[in-house]
Amino acid sequence: MKRALICGIGGQDGSYLAQFLLGKGYEVWGTSRDAQSASLSNLDALGIRDRVRVLSMAPNDFRSVFQAVDHSDPDEIYNLSGQSSVGLSFEQPAETLESIVTGVLNLLEVARMRHKGVRIYQAGSSECFGDTGDSAATEKTPFQPRSPYAVAKASAHWLVSNYREAYGLSCYTGILFNHESPLRPRRFVTRKIIAGAKRIAEGDGAKLTLGNLDIARDWGWAPEYVDAMWRMLQTDTPDDFLIATGETTALRDFVAEAFAFFDLDWQDHVEQSQEFSRPSDIRVSRADPSRAGKALDWQAQTRMRDVVRRMCEAETA
């Protein structure tokens, strides 16, 4: 039986990954900053809370990371921890960089010092590319980060690359584009839209206020993306892989689909405000995931419209 350690198991991706790995027969361990007080509601929602072993780990504390890895003794480590909101990173840049960059550095150092083979997955981000315009990003596209979050993820990406080359560690980075699910917190715009449409459909007269509706993103389905994470670590040549659907749509189309699910015209219920615009927002995020299709035999099956429908169905269940 393989053993996996998921750092940040309580988040959207960590919870779905835990469920996926349990289905593969893994013994699953996970970390949270305080395992005793963490709610881990996502694990409860998936019905797997009692099937995983959770440890306390502070990613920015080397000793804490060493103890968690040493105690769980994993074959595979999935690093999904760290501050995950682009918007919040503008308000908390120092905390964002420390939680992401120091966190992955500590994991890599622990792996290097233990002299025991372990495969490490690092959660990268499409935010590193910045605005792609009409050109779809590939694994070779230069980074142009435009937020503290993206700067942190780009730094983590190059740390992984350096440790792979300099020390021969089996470490991989998944450059994931936007991926959503009902487990997204409501501070994320996609969940905010779904919840807002439902609220208005139930008779609430207050409008939904959003930022720039012209931004365009590649939206996928989170439970499919954790499959790609696992597939990366099953390859024998550590590398970086871009994971996306290959379909980019505007946020206003996402909004329209959500309101249409509830038989509403979004233009009657949505208003825009500069309050929700970021200091340097990405206009278009476009991806070419063909390399992952060939190397990992992975392709996204769920596009934006089905993502919206599934999230709406879950919201009304």
Residues classed as catalytic: 125, 127, 149
The C-alpha atoms of residue 109 and residue 176 are separated, in whole angstroms, by 24
Single-letter amino acid code for the residue at 222 = A
The pLDDT of residue 121: 98
The pLDDT of residue 24: 98
Question: pLDDT > 70: what percent of the chain?
Answer: 100
User: Does residue 223 register a pLDDT over 90?
Assistant: yes
Supply the pTM of this predicted model. 0.95
The pLDDT of residue 35: 81
Question: 200 and 252: one domain?
Answer: yes
| pLDDT, tens only, 81-100 | 988 888 889 999 999 999 99
CATH of the domain at 144: 3.40.50.720
| pLDDT, tens only, 162-205 | 999 999 999 999 999 999 999 998 889 999 999 999 999 999 99
Higher per-residue confidence, 30 vs 39:
30
The pLDDT of residue 187: 87
- For all residues of the chain together, what is the average pLDDT? 95
The C-alpha atoms of residue 246 and residue 292 are separated, in whole angstroms, by 11
The pLDDT of residue 300: 97
Question: 110 and 52: one domain?
Answer: yes
Question: 175 and 194: one domain?
Answer: no
Question: 22 and 171: one domain?
Answer: yes
Q: Are 228 and 241 in contact (CB under 8 A)?
A: yes
Question: 200 and 133: one domain?
Answer: no
Q: How far is CA 40 from CA 54, 60, 116, in A?
A: 10, 21, 30
User: Does residue 111 register a pLDDT over 80?
Assistant: yes
User: Does residue 216 register a pLDDT over 80?
Assistant: yes
Instruction: Give how many domains the chain has, as a whole number.
Output: 2
Higher per-residue confidence, 279 vs 112:
112
Question: 38 and 100: one domain?
Answer: yes
The pLDDT of residue 8: 94
Nearest alpha-carbon partner for 126 in 21, 217, 32, 28 = 217
User: Does residue 231 register a pLDDT over 90?
Assistant: yes
Nearest alpha-carbon partner for 109 in 98, 99, 120 = 120
The C-alpha atoms of residue 195 and residue 191 are separated, in whole angstroms, by 6
pLDDT grade, residue 220 (50/70/90)? very high
Question: 137 and 203: one domain?
Answer: no
The C-alpha atoms of residue 131 and residue 129 are separated, in whole angstroms, by 6
Question: 163 and 307: one domain?
Answer: no
| pLDDT, tens only, 262-305 | 999 999 999 999 887 777 789 999 999 999 999 999 999 999 99
Question: 12 and 134: one domain?
Answer: yes
CATH of the domain at 270: 3.90.25.10
Mean pLDDT of 243-254: 98
Question: 116 and 205: one domain?
Answer: no
Question: 211 and 291: one domain?
Answer: no
pLDDT grade, residue 32 (50/70/90)? very high
Question: pLDDT > 90: what percent of the chain?
Answer: 90
Domain that holds residue 68: 3-180+220-247+287-296
The pLDDT of residue 115: 79
Q: How far is CA 281 from CA 99, 124, 276, in A?
A: 22, 18, 11
Question: 193 and 134: one domain?
Answer: no
The pLDDT of residue 126: 97
